[in-house]
Amino acid sequence: MMSKSRLEAFSDGVFAILITILVLEFHVPEYHQGHLAAAIAQQWPEFLAYAVSYFYVGTLWLFHHDYVASLKVIDRNLNLINLLSMFSVTLFDYPMSLVATAIAERNTADIRVSFMIYSAVALFISSVYYVMYRYLYTHQQMMDKNHFVFDRGIKMDPLRSIALYGLAIITSIWSNWIGGLLLLAGIAFHFIAYLHLSRNRRQTSKLEV
């Protein structure tokens, strides 16, 4: 009914722009003339925040890519869910910016707040992915059967992510380190889940051949 190609073009556009805009948050530090090197050396946490965020959004793109590839058709509801999904993804620029600013100022209370909001947005993104998977699961006629592993392999993954990010928010109250590590664990979990998912799909493809 609706065109898969325009949904892909719009989503690829949003992902490509967001991922390229993120790097603008990792900007030239303020410095006194002749002391640029020292100022840059202190930027490693910002660089780390950028690198982690880049691969987080990149993994979200990989999942989105596979999700759309597994669809035979697109209906109105899926288009609306996708619009919500892109909303949650664009929102991500804000916590990335908060974390970069808070880390640059090295204030513990502010870093805590920025980590909590970063985790909250990641939790929101995972919730929308859960709705996306759920919708596909209850509308199996929309599914391209060559991708049936997709559904089985990752049905519970967004729920696991939601739990991890929820835990990251709560533990941030006591410790930035534990909260930050759980946040990193959540992002690493996405990446591992993707590797796992694509390995499964490959094995199934081989069995079929």
Q: According to CB under 8 A, which residues from 10 to 29 bind a copy of itself?
A: 10, 12-24, 26-28
Amino acid at 24: L
Among positions 48, 97, 135, 160, the unique one binding a copy of itself when judged by CB under 8 A: 97
* Dihedral angle computed from the Cα positions of residues 84, 93, 45 and 55, in that order, rounded to the nearest 10 degrees: 50
Among positions 127, 143, 155, 198, the unique one binding a copy of itself when judged by CB under 8 A: 198
- Tell me: does residue 34 bind a copy of itself (CB under 8 A): yes
**CA distances from residue 1 to 5, 7, 28, 55 in whole angstroms, order as listed:** 12, 12, 47, 33
Helices marked H in 139-175 = 148-154, 157-172
CB of 158 to a copy of itself, least distance (A): 20
Stretch that binds a copy of itself, among 123-131, 137-145, 181-189, 195-203 (CB under 8 A): 195-203
Cβ atoms of residues 86 and 152 within 8 Å: no
CB of 178 to a copy of itself, least distance (A): 19
70 phi, psi to nearest 5 deg? -85, 0
Tokens of 123: 């939790």
| Binding letters toward a copy of itself, positions 54-93, x by CB under 8 A | xx--x--xx--x--xx------x--x---x--xx--xx-x
- Tell me: does residue 127 bind a copy of itself (CB under 8 A): no
143 phi, psi to nearest 5 deg? -85, 145
Using alpha carbons only, what angle is made at residue 205 by residues 204 and 208, rounded to the nearest 5 degrees?
85
Cβ atoms of residues 49 and 95 within 8 Å: no
Among positions 42, 51, 137, 192, the unique one binding a copy of itself when judged by CB under 8 A: 51
Q: Which residues bind a copy of itself (CB under 8 A)?
A: 1-3, 6, 8-10, 12-24, 26-28, 31, 33-37, 40, 51, 54-55, 58, 61-62, 65, 68-69, 76, 79, 83, 86-87, 90-91, 93-94, 97-98, 101-102, 105, 107, 109-110, 113-114, 117, 195, 198-199, 201-202, 205
